[in-house]
Amino acid sequence: MDTSWIDLPTSHPEYVDGCMQFIAFSKQGLFEGKIRCPCKNCKVDKWFPVNDVERHILFKGFYKSYRNWIFHGKGDMVQRMLGSDGGSTSEGSLAREDGEWTEEPVSYDTDVEYDDSSIEEDATYKKLLQAFEEKLYEGCINFSKLSFLLHLFHLKCMHHWSIESFNMLLKLILDAFPQILDFPSSYYYSKKMIKDLGLGYEKIDACPNDCMLYWGEFLEKDKCHVYGKSRWKTTKGKKGDDVSDQGMNTCKKGVPAKVMRYFPLIPRLKRIYMSSETAEDMRWHDTERLGEDDKKILRHPSDALAWKAFDERYRDFSLDPRSVRLGLASDGFNPYRLMNTTYSTWPMVLIPYNLPPWLCMKPSSFILSTLIPGKASPGNDIDVYLQPLVHELKLLWGGVEAFDAFDGVKFNLRAALLWTINDFPGYAMLSGLSTKGYNACPICMDFTPSDRFGNKICYCSYRKWLPADHPYRRQGEKFCEKFGTNELGEAPSRPSGTDILRQQEKVKYVYGKSKAPPKKRQRGHTDNNDVQDEIVFGTKRSIFFDLVYWEHNLLRHNLDVMHIEKNVSENLLGTLLSMDKSRDNRDDREALEAWRIKTHLWLSADHNGNEYMPPASYSMSREEKERFLNVLQKLKVPDGYGSNLSSCVI
């Protein structure tokens, strides 16, 4: 039998076919459901079930010195009849000579060298698999060395352990449990082990003004090509002034002024398919969903029109259920948990929607992609930090080679970004559309029905989105709109991605915080010298339009329901209880009078001549507020669905 495939890389199709031939051959000599494992680690000395042996030789590589297969098939049955044990080869029986298995009574050589021709990602997975399979100690069933180490790192992060305390804990564990062998003895070696398993990230220097990344063609640059800002931190002069590297050469070259962390996406997607269980789960949207009649109910993103429209347009992508659909969620947060400290770190998290609904939204399924450092929000310059991610998404649209452990074959792994999920400010940053001011609606755009109400902008004429025969359209007196007129207008048409791209390509936006602030657009301005401001809607061209499919996506950006519910609830409660966040104040009552609506709520004077605000229908007396607060104090909700309300009621 031809065994030349043993010398091929584990990623080669002929190597995979050869492994399948070996498995079929070895099943002839099963002993209690097990066979010897000829992977390059076990070296025919250990027994495992056939499925485990198949996984070993596919990912760890075949032991190059074992070519005659005398311990498998019918040969292994004869060997057992001759009295060989089930562990290693008996002295004087079949043995190896000059790197080949023979039937001569020669010594057993364990130091045979061989060439490792596996590609880099396969080597990374082998280390991961080996650490995962290695027990913490003999008889341990709850932890492997890898899982136990990851639990320790999780505790270190959650409880802010110092490196010194982590080292002391590792020393205590090794002293107390000597049965734990080959376990990292310090934080340094622990980090090294995790890095070798492919769980690391790339550090990419960035301009402090958010102008550019020192990445790709700018990797070796020392200055920002936009404003000339130095890449490196500078020392302080005697009077506390910054001393640049120009003239005095006091710059601490080698210490970047700003660094972002990027977690490569392609290796992480490949790792998902390297597990047979998760590889099977990634097909759920195609194999386990309900019938076509039941798909009319939205239970999973694959039931949505945006998903179906994408599949209809890109049939070659949708034909393979392993093609990954991704969502991108982002928001800023303060990692120091101090409300009086201004700091805004922005993580970018990807969600693989191929998984079933009970898995895709679990934190363990999220893929951290980018970590943008503070101290301030990147704003519209967030696109600068998205360049590495968009680059990988372009590669994944064409496809990269990966291994499917569920089917046991190589395949072309493709992925696409379907939409983003953000709050309203994040929506503006990623979409390049305006979400504040008079044109705050990214759907209505320049046709946003808005007007100033007191000291804030309000958005009226929302009844035009109702059906033409809806009774609310002719009940203007019941709605807080100017003049209380009936609504006979039509809703504006929803702009397509092509329409938005055409508008944004007219915007000349320069990344960076050093530029002069943009000139504010005046409502109703018709200066002939400023025609471009009249026809352009948007703040920049979104970097996601670099993806060839982005402009054709039916739904590109989503608003996070959690933020909307929180803000609406806070304003409602603040208004009902007359708190600081109340939306009913003196300015609002004056605005009602200016609009000539709701006359019973205009500011009035009491019998002493003092000004007061007449109570509205939602105004609560002191007794009503006490009863309402008592309900909130005793209210119990499921774990994770609300904060401790009782602590908020005084």
* pLDDT tens digits, 83-117: 433 333 333 333 443 344 443 333 334 333 333 33
Greater confidence (501 vs 85) lies with 501
Q: What separation in angstroms does the CA of 595 have from each of 452, 474, 485, 488, 605?
A: 10, 19, 12, 20, 20
Residue 313's pLDDT is: 94
| pLDDT value at residue 415 | 96
Residue 377 has pLDDT above 50, yes or no: yes
| Region 282-296 average pLDDT | 74
The pLDDT assigned to 283 comes to 92
Predicted confidence at residue 243, as pLDDT, reads: 45
**Is residue 510 very low, low, confident or very high in pLDDT (cuts 50, 70, 90)?**
confident
Q: And the tokens for 507?
A: 């915007």
Residue 599 is classified by DSSP as: G
Which carries the bigger pLDDT value, residue 631 or residue 131? Answer: 631
| Residues 283 and 322: beta-carbon distance below 8 Å | yes
Highest mean pLDDT among 178-182, 334-338, 642-646: 178-182
**Is a pLDDT exceeding 50 seen at residue 616?**
yes
Pair type for strands 400-404 and 242-243:
unpaired
CA angle 30, 33, 35 (to 5 degrees): 50
pLDDT band at residue 329 using 50, 70 and 90 as cut-offs: very high
Residue 341 scores a pLDDT above 70 = no
Name the packing angle between helices 50-59 and 120-133 (round to 10°).
140
Query: Is the backbone of residue 420 left (phi > 0), alpha (psi -120 to 50) or beta?
Result: beta
Please give the helix or strand (H or E) that residue 395 lies within, else none.
helix 387-398
Vertex 535 angle, CA 529 and 537, to 5°: 125
Question: To the nearest whole percent, how much of the chain has pLDDT over 70?
Answer: 80
Q: 118: Cβ–Cβ under 8 A, 6 or more apart, which residues? A: 9, 10, 11, 61, 126
Distance CA 397, CA 323 (A): 9
For residue 44 the two structure tokens come to 């025919």
* pLDDT > 80? residue 169: yes
Q: What is the pLDDT of residue 492?
A: 83
Residue type present at position 83:
G
Query: Is 299 or 429 the better-scoring residue by pLDDT?
Result: 429
Q: DSSP character for 136? A: S
pLDDT of 320 over the 80 cut: yes
CB 82 within 8 A of CB 93: yes
What is the pLDDT at residue 649? 76
Q: What is the pLDDT of residue 594?
A: 86
Q: Which residues pair with 516 in a beta bridge?
A: none
When the pLDDT of each residue in the chain is averaged and rounded to a whole number, the result is 79
More confident of the two residues 238 and 508: 508
Position 479 scores a pLDDT of 75
Q: 138-142, 159-163, 293-297, 382-386: which has the minimum mean pLDDT?
A: 293-297
Tell me the average pLDDT across 161-186.
90
| Highest mean pLDDT of the ranges 96-105, 337-346, 578-587 | 578-587
* pLDDT above 90 as % of the chain: 23
Provide mean pLDDT across the span 336-361. Answer: 84
Report which of residues 505 and 338 the model is more confident about: 505
pTM above 0.75, yes or no: no
pLDDT higher than threshold 70 for residue 482: no
Closest CA to 36 of 18, 10, 59, 63: 63
Instruction: Quickly list H helices, 185-255.
Output: 187-196
Please state, in angstroms and rounded to a whole number, the distance separating the CA atoms of residues 414 and 394. 10
Residue 565 pLDDT level (bands cut at 50, 70, 90): confident
| pLDDT reported for residue 253 | 60
Task: Give residue 514's pLDDT band: very low, low, confident or very high (50, 70, 90).
Answer: low
Euclidean distance between CA atoms 316 and 540, whole angstroms = 32
pLDDT for 31: 73
* Nearest to 143, CA basis, from 172, 180, 178: 180
What is the amino acid identity at position 589?
Answer: R
Q: Out of 62-66, 79-83, 332-336, which region has the weakest mean confidence (pLDDT)?
A: 79-83
**Quick one: pLDDT band at residue 78, thresholds 50, 70, 90?**
very low
Q: Which of 252-266, 341-355, 477-491, 628-642 has the lowest mean pLDDT?
A: 477-491
